[in-house]
Structure 1
């Protein structure tokens, strides 16, 4: 599995869903002027751009372990403090952010509980820690249709349903295990319309993430069969894909009550 890819490639693959998700997630978090916010696992900046729109570059920091994403985001938003780091080892002092957020990241953390605990460490006691993950287990992610088609062609295919936070209630369990309190949850939705197969399919061949790795591992005939089966499931173009995330926001243990 790889996320060491050009930012534009990732934007074409997942950014077409994560960019419209950004405003809904920021609303759920309660991002507002005057705050200082850290975007954990920023990728090429789908959420970072929305945070900057609301807060200004000087009030936003971002971290990601992918060198191309860090370099691309630093060039794109030169006023944002962008650093190379994982969620489990954030290069910031204790209690220096009003909110620390992770959009579509928890399921790829090597240790989600440690990552959420580290997010809490850098958040002030009355600040917010928030995260969201696609509903892979419920079949409502942007990638679910392609995974369904892959499993129908090969029942041995292992999809993303078992990843951390990708099933109902699991993000809440992870947040509690990380010592967070007053955990609130939500089901957020985005809809994206595609003109035709050429608008939708090519980014699946870029080798990005678990699904991209699966597609890249297929020979030409099986890749073509997967594409054709996906298009049969999608139906006539244009078509709209509706995707849902499980989202949570919480506070550090011992913090003041959520208002």
Structure 2
């Protein structure tokens, strides 16, 4: 594993519960397009990468697919196995997968490839477990982060919170653009294409703050929680002010989200 992989394992350890009730609601928007791009239907043998609480796996099972799933965090894998009875859920750390060559008709990953330290090696492994003609579909956040992905980070920058050297940004600061994502996937798969996914995400600002920023979900939260209480309070003030322009009138806000969907054929 790279240093980034080691950092990621620590970042997500024990976060299954707060991720499921918070950030997973944001990433769930991409599940339908992801499975459509992979052509998941009845009888499809599909592998869900970084399954988390199993949202992608559950929808694939609902479509009649034969579902396998992996996650690097044992608690995430346990949560997915509970949420998707009948799925073959295993603990595995990319790029290594515990599956035989050419096992699957499709491999999907919802906002997972941006959490690995060696995307090129990971794509080679995904190609290995796909049958000839099998489909790959992956989502990632558009970089640099904007919209809902950036609200806490932008508030920290306005307050003047520095980004520490020991919190790595990862390869997808480079690959998180349509051209670079397409080139990355196209290096291992035929007919590689990248599409934009844009939607409005509606949430309660207070709940989002507590279940994300204050629950150590994501690198922004890691940096924020290193600050003293007065600094955190100032960041919260800026966060609230910035989100006020997206108010819906019922106490919620609706903020744009921007992501990329890549797909290709083995």
With the length of structure 1 as denominator, give the TM-score of the two structures: 0.88
2:82 corresponds to: 75
1:202 Cα deviation after fit: 0.7
With the length of structure 2 as denominator, give the TM-score of the two structures: 0.86
Distance in 1 between residues matched to 2:169 and 2:143, nearest whole Å: 6
Post-superposition Cα deviations, 1:28-83, rounded to whole Å, max 9, x if no partner, equal 33222221100011112121221121125xx0000011011011111222310000
2:183 corresponds to: 173
Relative distance call for 1:123 and 1:39 in structure 2 (3 A) is: same
1:231 corresponds to: 240
Q: Is the CA contact 1:126–1:251 (under 8 Å) kept in the aligned structure 2?
A: yes
From 127, 131, 137, give the equivalent of 1:124.
Answer: 131
1:117 Cα deviation after fit: 1.1
1:29 corresponds to: 38
DSSP 3-state at the match of 2:173: coil
Q: Is the CA contact 2:139–2:260 (under 8 Å) kept in the aligned structure 1?
A: yes
Relative distance call for 1:150 and 1:168 in structure 2 (3 A) is: farther
1:155 Cα deviation after fit: 6.3
Relative distance call for 1:76 and 1:148 in structure 2 (3 A) is: same
Distance in 2 between residues matched to 1:102 and 1:39, nearest whole Å: 6
Root-mean-square deviation over aligned CA pairs: 2.0
Q: Is the CA contact 1:191–1:243 (under 8 Å) kept in the aligned structure 2?
A: yes
From 247, 251, 256, give the equivalent of 2:265.
Answer: 251
Distance in 2 between residues matched to 1:143 and 1:160, nearest whole Å: 14
Relative distance call for 1:163 and 1:44 in structure 2 (3 A) is: farther
1:199 Cα deviation after fit: 2.8
Distance in 2 between residues matched to 1:8 and 1:67, nearest whole Å: 12
Post-superposition Cα deviations, 1:119-159, rounded to whole Å, max 9, x if no partner, equal 1110111111121101131524x321221111122263379
Relative distance call for 1:52 and 1:114 in structure 2 (3 A) is: same
Distance in 2 between residues matched to 1:164 and 1:72, nearest whole Å: 32
DSSP 3-state at the match of 1:55: coil
1:242 corresponds to: 256
1:256 corresponds to: none
From 87, 90, 93, give the equivalent of 1:86.
Answer: 93
Q: Is the CA contact 2:146–2:258 (under 8 Å) kept in the aligned structure 1?
A: no
Bigger drift between 208-217 and 160-169 goes to 160-169
Distance in 2 between residues matched to 1:189 and 1:31, nearest whole Å: 22
1:135 corresponds to: 142
- The number of equivalent residue pairs is 247
Relative distance call for 1:43 and 1:198 in structure 2 (3 A) is: same
Which structure 1 segments of 5+ residues have no match? 253-259
